[in-house]
A = this chain, B = another copy of it.
Amino acid sequence: MHNGRKGKEVSSRSMASKTQVGFIGLGNMGKPMAKNLLKHGYPVIATDVFPESCKELQELGAQIVDNPAEVADQADRIVTMLPSSPNVIEVYTGPNGILKKVKKGSLLIDSSTIDPAVSKEMAVAAEKMGAVFMDAPVSGGVGAASSGKLTFMVGGVEEEFTAAQELLTCMGANVVYCGAVGTGQAAKICNNMLLAIGMIGTSETMNLGIRLGLDPKLLAKILNMSSGRCWSSDTYNPVPGVMEGVPSGNHYQGGFGTQLMAKDLGLAQTTATNTKTPVPLGSLAHQIYRMMCARGYAGKDFS
């Protein structure tokens, strides 16, 4: 983990006291993140394709502009939080995209969860314009976004990490440097693939144990003191009644949607296919979440 290395002076930009920060993408995650920047005293200049998403932020003091190019015209530090790869490509390289008006030396931080290959493309495109692109996907849901407790996994040139960290610590509890651009995405994808495997594995195991006559609480206790232990068994158990305060105890409402998990597993599958890496369990986990979406559980928690 990287703990605020200082390094040589990078640019006046990252040292600047609270100058304007751009924010693009004010959805369920982006909005509370932008609010946290405001709370920490940063002037925010923002945009989103849905005007209604902008209004709330405007009332809190943010400046709203028409499109990403205009954000880039005014701010030299920009955070983006978008649903998927095509949105990121559009917001960065589209006709009204950031790169149309980006200033030399700008720091562009993308917190979307996308294919690391796209992150790398964006970094190359940004570099051509003299700007720096970093990928910084998050772990943690809407709750963590609101309370500023997200974990950021950051990829990009190490010299710029301190500058990125300054902003990200306003929105998250952990900011982890992962390596070259794209490795933030890689870390997120890897974690979520293993999470999905652990969750389905825990569900199968708990179900099998119950059918074999074991009490679910006792089984969870045994697994958690043994080598079967995992986050899904000890922190987010999928069987109703085993734990309190998790979605399984509340009809699988809230939490992390099955559809989102399927999307992340799709990314894992695509990167694995592209790198010719065998991921049999990750692949089957993807298919299982995909089948659940097809059967109408897309909006339920992934557990």
A174-B225, A190-B208 known; 7 other A-B pairs, CB under 8 Å? A1-B218, A190-B205, A194-B202, A195-B227, A227-B236, A276-B290, A276-B294
**In the bound complex, do residue A1 and residue B214 qualify as a contact, i.e. CB atoms below 8 Å apart?**
no
How many copies, total? 4
Question: What are 26 A-B contacts defined by CB distance under 8 Å?
Answer: A139-B227, A178-B218, A179-B214, A183-B213, A186-B209, A190-B219, A191-B226, A195-B226, A195-B227, A197-B198, A197-B204, A204-B279, A205-B279, A205-B282, A208-B271, A211-B275, A211-B277, A212-B271, A212-B275, A230-B231, A262-B276, A270-B273, A278-B290, A279-B287, A280-B284, A281-B288
- Which residues on B sit within 8 Å (CB–CB) of A8? none
Please tell me the size bucket of the interface on A: 35 or more
The prevalent SS among residues of A at the interface is helix
A156 contacts chain B at the CB level, 8 A cutoff:
no
A47 contacts chain B at the CB level, 8 A cutoff:
no
Specify which of B204, B208, B213, B281 is in contact with A201 (CB 8 Å cutoff): B281
Scan residues 22-61 of chain A and give those whose CB is less than 8 A from a CB of chain B: none
- Which residues on B sit within 8 Å (CB–CB) of A294? 276, 278
A229 contacts chain B at the CB level, 8 A cutoff:
yes
Known pairs A273-B269, A280-B284; A212 contacts B228 (CB<8 A): no
**In the bound complex, do residue A213 and residue B290 qualify as a contact, i.e. CB atoms below 8 Å apart?**
no
Chain B: minimal CB distance from A102 (Å): 24
